[in-house]
Amino acid sequence: MTTALITGATAGLGAAFARRLARDGHHLVLVARNEERLWEEATRLHDRHGVEASVLVADLATDEGISAVEERLGDGDHPVDLLINNAGFGNKGKFLQVPVEDELTMLKVHCEAVLRLTSAAVASMRERGRGGVVNVASVAAFVPRGTYGASKAWVVQFTQGAAKDLAGSGVRLMALCPGFVRTEFHQRAGMDAESVPGWMWLDADAVVGAAVKDLARGKTLSIPDARYKALMGASRLLPRELLARASTKTGRRYGPR
């Protein structure tokens, strides 16, 4: 049986990955900050699917947290076959409304942690000649959308570049770019999700289902759902200014700080 390590497994897309991968028979290592929620999730999945589910409490906005997960990924006695770098968040506000230290925290979680955990995982996967990494980015990577979109653009470029460098090694890397997904993300970021039209919302389990399929097909970029595939195709034809106006506004109304 193979083992999957999922960051940000207590909610939203990470929890959906955990459900799906447990159902498919993977042992799990669940990573996030909230220990109680991690254990609830691990116990539930173990009881329902009979897989081993362990918990690693780590704050990926800190060096200690990232190091603890790197160490687990480098444990040759308990190899990790699939890494899902999913933990992430949005800051509450537009550029300059958010303190620079919070922006740096976002870069730490979205970019530094993803770089370091991917490196740690892939080093041992390459030795074994197999393995997979899914780095959760966003369609925000392709449009002007504040510092959040910029951090996710880094995730896409990094993942596709590394996938090319590792071609033929047996290790697959894929950037996952969902549109709006119903999770805790928007509430945590203090965003007014009501301003996003209903048709734009995706279901977390469906997003994960599409991601699993795309990884098996060897894709390096996954944009779940026909609606977003069409939108991203159309966005390449639109004048950049028009695109910037629409993308920087949609779903970016924030409550009081």
Ligand X SMILES: NC(=O)c1ccc[n+]([C@@H]2O[C@H](COP(=O)([O-])OP(=O)(O)OC[C@H]3O[C@@H](n4cnc5c(N)ncnc54)[C@H](OP(=O)(O)O)[C@@H]3O)[C@@H](O)[C@H]2O)c1
Position 19: which residue type? R
Q: Find the shortest distance in angstroms from Cβ 196 to ligand X.
A: 9
Element (H, E) at 175: strand 171-176
Q: Are 179 and 202 in contact (CB under 8 A)?
A: yes
- Regarding 150 and contact with ligand X (CB under 6 A), the answer is no
* C-alpha 204 chain-centroid distance: 12
Q: Express the helix, strand and coil content of the chain in percent, nearest 5 each.
A: 50, 15, 35
Which lies closer to ligand X via its Cβ, residue 8 or residue 131?
A: 8
Give the interface size with ligand X as a residue count (CB under 6 A): 29
CB of 137 to ligand X, least distance (A): 7
Ranges within 31-70 binding ligand X (CB under 6 A): 32-34, 37, 59-61
Q: What is the CA radius of gyration of the chain?
A: 18
Q: How far is the CB of 88 from ligand X (least distance, A)?
A: 2
* Residues 139 and 178: beta-carbon distance below 8 Å: yes
Q: Give the span between the Cα atoms of 135 and 156, in whole angstroms.
A: 8
The region of 1-9, 46-54, 91-99, 125-133 touching ligand X under the rule CB under 6 A is 1-9
Binding residue for ligand X, selected from 27, 29, 86, 163, defined by CB under 6 A: 86
Which residues are known catalytic residues? 148
Residues in the chain: 257
88 binds ligand X (CB under 6 A): yes
> Binding ligand X by CB under 6 A: which of 3, 4, 5, 13?
13
Interface contacts to ligand X, rule CB under 6 A: 7-14, 32-34, 37, 59-61, 86-89, 109, 136, 138, 178, 180-181, 183-185, 188
